[in-house]
């Protein structure tokens, strides 16, 4: 029986309806299955993802630790940073707002372009810094005019500040913004405006000063705007560090050599605590914190007196006659000369085909060791250096700290050079010659020292033979160190050397007799030195050796002095180097005398104050 057209249409419709229903059933099943997976199986995972979009963790920068002197004076502190931000979404026209602000707070075209670039990069509700480190008057004017400055937001934060400016720049150093190469594993370094130590103790002890970050857990909307704070863990401030430096002594010393290219180190001969570490000229570390201009940096960089160099630990100089105590002690200990033996000086000393000269044109005549140290006779030391030999001089110099690094918390410390036969062969492929020994015998030739090394040498010479190490951090903040080693030597031999250093200042035969102190309890001893920076030719000696003041500054001798005081029961050691200063007796010794006199006076005031308190208590 033939199928009617209506039946065929009905069957076709039924099949299609069945297919559609089946398809819908499959889709519905898939949808239900997916919903089940999202709501049940994947609930924890997607809840976590949702929370991550809703909840934001933000780092809280810690307050940087302070650096104080031994008496608690602030050398590197934190102070309120008055700054101005702009919130783009709160103003119809950022450029017009900046123009209005410019009438109160000058904004250069360069700053303006930088601000506009930041506005384009960031979300409209986030603040963009317009100016920072403002003085209070400028900040107050901005606050008064806020109604006419839509989008402007005055703000207060914390910034690093160095109240003593250039006084301790080489010791303390400075902080500056983090560059791309310095960003490591610490997420703190990625915070906008976060600064780290770039020089001095700020750099060496940056981890201790930096502190530990806190965090804030906040709820945000889809645009990233903070709705509320859910929890908070405060940051931990960095360590406060107390230095051994005495700000008053440092200031007096710096003022005394402010017009010179110089280095002065003062330390306690028993504890090794450094009381002053002065290098002039210096720089203002606040400039680097705020962002030093290229013009100002170029001036510092091109200054012939090198204000960016810490001469106390980075400067390497021939020690000149300040090295003669080492040669004298080495000769006495080796038994190659007796203290009473006299050597005749007629101003010339022959070594092979070479003639060396004494600084005194007519010579010193016959001199003993004490007289040779007091009068700084070069011929005497040419002779005894030749007798004792370079290797024994090298060993004695090493025992007193020359040629060594001490590892104090200041970057750039140099080792100097304490030469020996082996050193010359290894570095120059040449054998050591008698003339080399003679040169080293008067602190010239290959030997190089830093002012810090000279001060350590002096401390070890006068403290009874303890190999004291220099310290820049107070002992309660340093790892406890072992008792200093005892330097083995014959006490009688050291007494002879000390007599010579006393005579330099306190006897008419001494080259620095004019610098003596009249009061017995304020007397001191020491040794002058003048280090040549250029060789004097035979022709110049035959005609006339020019005086230092007749030479260009860069050709003048370095002036040196190492000293100790008081003469009885020494407490302080000092080293002074004035670059191209000329004579040690006329230039460096007066500086040391004035610094020691200041310190003696300070000690007297302190003693009087203590006595007065005890009397009041009684």
Residue 180 preceded by cis peptide, ω within 30: no
Distance of CA 79 to the CA centre of its chain: 21
Q: How far is CA 224 from the centre of its chain?
A: 42
| Pairwise CA distance, residues 180 & 219, whole Å | 30
Taking phi first (over 0 means left), then psi (-120 to 50 degrees means alpha), and beta for anything else, what does residue 272 get?
A: left
Q: What is the dihedral of CA 217, 223, 227, 232, to 10 degrees?
A: 10
Distance CA 309, CA 314 (A): 7
Where helices occur in 205-293 by DSSP H, the ranges are 206-210, 247-256, 285-290
Q: How far apart are CA 573 and CA 275, in angstroms?
A: 10
Cβ-contact 298, 572 below 8 angstroms: no
Long-range Cβ contacts of 300-308 (<8 Å, 24+ apart): 304/261, 304/553, 304/554, 305/261, 305/280, 305/281, 305/579, 306/261, 307/280, 307/281, 307/282, 307/283, 308/283
Catalytic sites, residue numbers: 321
Burial 470-481 (b: 16+ CB within 10 A, else e): bbbbbeeeeeee
Give 229's strand partners: 218
CA distance 544 to 546: 6
State the Cα–Cα distance between residues 106 and 103, nearest whole angstrom. Answer: 7
């Amino acid at each position: 029986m033939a199928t009617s057209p209506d039946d065929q249409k009905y069957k076709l419709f039924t099949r299609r309806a069945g297919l559609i229903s089946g398809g819908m059933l499959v889709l519905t099943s898939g949808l239900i299955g997916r919903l089940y997976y999202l709501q049940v199986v994947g609930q924890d995972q997607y809840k976590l993802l949702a929370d991550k979009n809703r909840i934001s963790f933000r780092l809280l920068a810690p307050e940087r630790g302070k650096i104080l002197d031994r008496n608690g004076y602030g050398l590197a502190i934190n102070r309120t940073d008055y700054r101005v931000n702009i919130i783009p979404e709160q103003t119809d026209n950022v450029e017009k707002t900046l123009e209005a602000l410019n009438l109160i707070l000058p904004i250069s075209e360069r700053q303006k372009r930088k601000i506009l670039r930041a506005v384009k990069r960031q979300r409209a509700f986030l603040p963009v810094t317009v100016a920072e480190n403002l003085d209070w008057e400028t900040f107050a004017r901005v606050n008064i005019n806020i109604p006419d400055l839509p989008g402007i937001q005055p703000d207060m934060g914390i910034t690093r500040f160095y109240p003593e400016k250039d006084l301790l720049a080489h010791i303390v150093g400075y902080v500056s913004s983090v560059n791309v190469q310095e960003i490591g594993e610490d997420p703190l370094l990625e915070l906008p405006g976060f600064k780290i130590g770039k020089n001095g103790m700020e750099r060496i002890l940056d981890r201790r000063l930096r502190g530990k970050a806190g965090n804030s857990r906040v709820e945000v909307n889809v645009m990233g705007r903070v709705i509320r704070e859910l929890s908070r863990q405060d940051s931990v401030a960095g360590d406060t560090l107390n230095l051994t430096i005495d700000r008053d002594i440092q200031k007096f010393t710096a003022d005394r050599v402010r017009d010179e290219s110089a280095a002065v180190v003062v330390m306690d001969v028993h504890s090794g605590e450094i009381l002053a570490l002065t290098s002039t000229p210096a720089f203002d570390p606040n400039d680097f914190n705020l962002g030093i201009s290229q013009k100002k940096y170029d001036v510092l960089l091109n200054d012939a007196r090198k204000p960016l160099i810490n001469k106390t630990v980075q400067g390497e100089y021939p020690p000149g006659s300040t090295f003669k105590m080492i040669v004298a002690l080495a000769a006495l200990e080796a038994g190659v000369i007796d203290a009473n033996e006299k050597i005749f000086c007629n101003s010339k000393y022959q070594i092979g085909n070479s003639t060396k000269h004494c600084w005194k044109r007519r010579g010193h005549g016959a001199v003993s060791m004490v007289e040779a140290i007091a009068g700084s006779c070069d011929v005497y030391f040419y002779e005894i250096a030749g007798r004792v030999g370079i290797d024994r001089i090298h060993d004695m110099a090493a025992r007193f700290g020359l040629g060594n690094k001490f590892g104090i918390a200041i970057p750039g410390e140099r080792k100097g050079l304490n030469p020996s036969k082996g050193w010359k062969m290894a570095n120059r492929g040449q054998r050591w010659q008698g003339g080399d020994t003679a040169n080293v015998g008067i602190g010239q030739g290959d030997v190089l020292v830093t002012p810090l090394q000279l001060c350590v040498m002096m401390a070890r010479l006068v403290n009874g033979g303890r190999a004291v190490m220099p310290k820049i951090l107070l002992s309660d903040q340093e790892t406890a160190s072992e008792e200093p080693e005892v330097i083995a030597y014959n006490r009688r031999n050291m007494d002879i050397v000390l007599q010579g250093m006393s005579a330099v200042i306190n006897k008419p035969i001494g080259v620095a007799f004019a610098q003596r102190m009249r009061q017995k309890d304020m007397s001191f001893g020491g040794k002058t030195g003048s280090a040549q920076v250029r060789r004097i030719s035979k022709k110049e000696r035959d005609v006339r050796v020019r005086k230092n003041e007749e030479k260009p500054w860069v050709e003048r001798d370095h002036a040196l002095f190492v000293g100790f005081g008081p003469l009885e029961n020494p407490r302080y050691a000092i080293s002074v180097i004035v670059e191209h200063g000329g004579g040690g007796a006329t230039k460096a010794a007066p500086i040391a005398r004035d610094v020691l006199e200041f310190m003696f006076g300070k000690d007297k005031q302190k003693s009087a104050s203590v006595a007065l308190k005890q009397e009041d208590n009684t």
